[in-house]
Amino acid sequence: QVTLKESGPGILQPSHTLSLTCSFSGFSLSTYGMGVSWIRQPSGKGLEWLASIWWNGNTYNNPSLKSRLTVSKDTSNNQAFLKVTSVDTADTATYYCAHTGLTGFDYWGQGVMVTVSS
């Protein structure tokens, strides 16, 4: 059974760095074909893919966020991480992590709300 759970600061100030953790079970990020993706959703709005990291360490970021995104993983502890630098109010959203494989974003976490406010 695949499960994922996001954790983060809840609220942070503009210009700071957002650090999120995705803790998962039921798969390994060292297994061929496995990946974890990050997607966000501002309240009442649509979904935006942010980044993905794969079993082999390859990463893909959404270029709309330029170089503000960093994804990484800790295979031993079944965790993936997302960092977003220089946040502003437009980064206020619910952030999801999702298991990613040959069949899309097939399992999602419950999401973590992040508010950027001074």
Partner 1 sequence: ETVMTQSPTSMSTSIGERVTLNCKASQSVGINVDWYQQTPGQSPKLLIYGASNRHTGVPDRFTGSGFGRDFTLTISNMEAEDLAVYYCLQYGSIPPWTFGGGTKLELK
Site residues (CB under 8 A) for partner 1?
39, 46-49, 52, 60-64, 96, 103-111
* Residue (15 or 72) nearer to partner 1, CB: 72
Distance CA 70, CA 45 (A): 24
* Residue (16 or 48) nearer to partner 1, CB: 48
* Residue (55 or 96) nearer to partner 1, CB: 96
How is residue 3 written in tokens? 């499960």
